[in-house]
Amino acid sequence: MNKIIYILLAITFSFTTFSQETTGQDQRLEWFKDAKLGIFIHWGIYSVNGIDESWSFYNNLISYEDYMKQLNGFTASNYDPAFWANLIKESGAKYAVITTKHHDGVALWNSKFSDLNVVKKTPAGRDLIKPFVSNLRKNNLKVGLYYSLLDWSNPDYPNFKINTKRYDIDSDSIRWNRFVKFNFNQIEEIVDNFKPDLMWFDGDWEQTAEKWHAKEIREMLLNKNKDIIINSRLRGYGDYATPEQGLPIHKPKSKYWELCMTMNDSWGYQGNDKNYKTPYQIIRIFADVISLGGNLLLDIGPKQDGTIPEEQVNILQELGKWMNKNKQAIFSTKAGIPRDYFSGPSTLSKDGKTLYLFINGKPNGPIMLKGIINKINRIWVVGRGTKLKHEIKMKAWWSKIPGLVFIDIPDNVLDKYMTVIGISLDGEIQLFDNNKK
Ligand code: JFZ
């Protein structure tokens, strides 16, 4: 008898701890889930020559010495963090993530733990993170800090360049532990100085979770700020997933995810890279991302003087106009319906009673929706309010199979990029499944 009570208690206890942990994560990630769009910023000395961030010396496209000469050309002379933050706000994004230190080890803040920082080693001569963070806060935007766990410049870090190692970790644990301590110091330093809402780690692939002390990093961060969010690249100790092969085809299994993406083909500023996605293409990708329940972290790469290339400014502004017009269908929504029901991206209001359809291009006839069991109350063009008519075809009175819904979208209501329509239903959406009895 005692044994049974004990088992029951144990089960109840483990269940409560588990559900508390789950609620905790859901609460911490609530703003993230609703944010939908973030802006990623890769800014560093690589913008001087306009070459690959860190990878250019790692892959021997330039010598390490020549790579580091870029320190002398990094001025930040036209850096306007208020303009940056306003532009990010204007784009419709709810958060930003900035590189505080990339794999090259050059810190953008005044680090006590390494002189390899822009304050001591570049003409910029000042902390570049602090003013940006305070301008994000002024605009009510969440603050994300990118930090590379690996540091190819640090003399205690084992890897230097492709096929060139300084030493082997297992042969010199004292040296490695010195690096681990250094990493903890710098991470603590940026968390104490800038109080980020989100830590975006990178470069975790070079060592195991044990070697990085990933679990302890996570604990340290959560001890300092119980609400902090950690991205996936902490060897399994993060809060959300980063899809590896670009835009997912199917809805990812993880509840929280974020796709990071460049506007052209470079993370940092590379003047020769003109392969920009158009505003339409970016909006089209964004619609897919939110339709599948994720966030888009869209990257910009400012020049060495702090100006943002005009192509990038233009994309953010065009995106912003569209986001603002269609915000009803974007923020505080959840993933939409499977493509079997509508052949395009969609989202649902949180209560599931409103369906938003993102219309591809200019339809050459009424669009079709199928398998919706609910009755439709009304249909309108989001951001415009125009009511739209619909027709129901193929509805047999004796069958429970829902009819086909045809919605005509006149040319004069079409958006320059992507038209969104709202469909209010008589209750929470119910989808018909012909394979289910
Ligand atoms: C990393 C960096 O190496 C790169 O320079 C840039 O900062 C980018 C944002 O992050 O590159 C990666 C690492 C992992 C993946 C993609 C790019 N991944 O898992 O898909």
SS (H, E, C) the chain: CHHHHHHHHHHHHHHHHHHHHHHHHHHHCHHHHHHCEEEEECCCCHHHHCCCCCHHHHCCCCCHHHHHHHHHHCCCCCCCHHHHHHHHHHCCCCEEEEEEECCCCCECCCCCCCCCEHHHHCCCCCCCHHHHHHHHHHCCCEEEEEEECCCCCCCCCCEEECCEECCCHHHCHHHHHHHHHHHHHHHHHHHHHHCCCEEEEECHHHCCHHHHCHHHHHHHHHHHCCCCEECCCCCCCCCCECCCCCCCCCCCCCCCEEEEECCCCCCCCCCCCCCCCCHHHHHHHHHHHHHCCCEEEEEECCCCCCCCCHHHHHHHHHHHHHHHHCHHHHCCEEECCCCCCCCCCEEEECCCCEEEEEECCCCCCCEEECCECCCEEEEEECCCCCECCEEEECCCCCCCCCCEEEECCCHHHCCCCCEEEEEEECCCCCECCCCCC
Q: Which atom of ligand 1 is nearest to the CA of 54?
A: 5
How many angstroms does the Cα of residue 267 sit away from the middle of ligand 1? Answer: 9
- Ligand 1 in contact with 217 (CB < 6 A)? no
Q: Which atom of ligand 1 is nearest to the CA of 299?
A: 9
How many angstroms does the Cα of residue 5 sit away from the middle of ligand 1? Answer: 51
**Domain range 333-425, its CATH number among 3.30.750.24, 3.40.50.620, 2.60.40.1180, 2.40.240.10:** 2.60.40.1180
- Domain residue spans of the chain: 1-32, 36-325, 333-425
Q: How far is CA 60 from the centre of its chain?
A: 30
Distance CA 50, CA 186 (A): 27
How many angstroms does the Cα of residue 203 sit away from the middle of ligand 1? Answer: 7
- Ligand 1 in contact with 202 (CB < 6 A)? yes
In this model, does residue 12 exceed pLDDT 80?
A: no
Mean pLDDT, the chain, rounded, equals 94
In this model, does residue 244 exceed pLDDT 80?
A: no
Residue 102 vs residues 37, 99, 393, 405: alpha-carbon distances, Å: 22, 6, 57, 51
Q: Which tokens is 80 given?
A: 């306007």
In this model, does residue 23 exceed pLDDT 60?
A: no
- Ligand 1 in contact with 424 (CB < 6 A)? no
Residue whose CA is closest, atom 16 of ligand 1? Answer: 244
pLDDT tier at 231, thresholds 50, 70, 90: very high
Residues 6+ apart with CB under 8 A from 164: none
Centre a 10 Å sphere on the Cβ of residue 26 and count the other Cβ atoms it contains: 12
- Ligand 1 in contact with 245 (CB < 6 A)? no
pLDDT tier at 170, thresholds 50, 70, 90: very high
Residue whose CA is closest, atom 8 of ligand 1? Answer: 267
171-172-177-179 Cα dihedral, nearest 10 degrees: -100
How many angstroms does the Cα of residue 233 sit away from the middle of ligand 1? Answer: 9
Alpha carbons within 13 A on the beta-carbon side of 96: 29
In this model, does residue 1 exceed pLDDT 60?
A: no
How many angstroms does the Cα of residue 52 sit away from the middle of ligand 1? Answer: 12
Lowest mean pLDDT among 31-45, 77-91, 235-249, 344-358: 235-249
Residue whose CA is closest, atom 15 of ligand 1? Answer: 244
Residue recorded with tokens 């969010």: 229
- Ligand 1 in contact with 244 (CB < 6 A)? yes
Residue whose CA is closest, atom 10 of ligand 1? Answer: 202
How many angstroms does the Cα of residue 434 sit away from the middle of ligand 1? Answer: 42
Phi-psi region of 62 (alpha: psi -120 to 50; beta: other; left: phi over 0): beta
- Ligand 1 in contact with 267 (CB < 6 A)? yes
* Between 253 and 301, the higher pLDDT residue: 301
Pocket mutation for ligand 1, best pick of 202, 240, 264, 270 (most atoms within 8 Å of C-beta): 202
Distance CA 45, CA 28 (A): 34
Topology of domain 36-325 in CATH is TIM Barrel (3.20.20)
Q: Please state the length of the chain.
A: 437
CA-wise closest residue to 269 among 46, 25, 2, 11: 46
pLDDT, residue 431, reads 98
In this model, does residue 20 exceed pLDDT 60?
A: no
Pocket mutation for ligand 1, best pick of 56, 159, 267 (most atoms within 8 Å of C-beta): 267
348-241-284-409 Cα dihedral, nearest 10 degrees: -10
Distance CA 13, CA 43 (A): 48
Which is it for strands 333-335 and 346-349: parallel, antiparallel or unpaired?
antiparallel
Q: Which residues pair with 166 in a beta bridge?
A: none
Residue whose CA is closest, atom 6 of ligand 1? Answer: 267
Q: Which atom of ligand 1 is nearest to the CA of 99?
A: 7
In this model, does residue 3 exceed pLDDT 60?
A: no
In this model, does residue 140 exceed pLDDT 50?
A: yes
How many angstroms does the Cα of residue 244 sit away from the middle of ligand 1? Answer: 9
Q: Which tokens is 210 given?
A: 């044990």
Distance CA 231, CA 210 (A): 18
Q: Which atom of ligand 1 is nearest to the CA of 267?
A: 6
How many angstroms does the Cα of residue 109 sit away from the middle of ligand 1? Answer: 22
pLDDT, residue 245, reads 65
Distance CA 113, CA 318 (A): 41
In this model, does residue 359 exceed pLDDT 80?
A: yes
Question: What is the share, in percent, of the chain residues with pLDDT greater than 70?
Answer: 94
CA-wise closest residue to 255 among 3, 16, 12, 33: 33
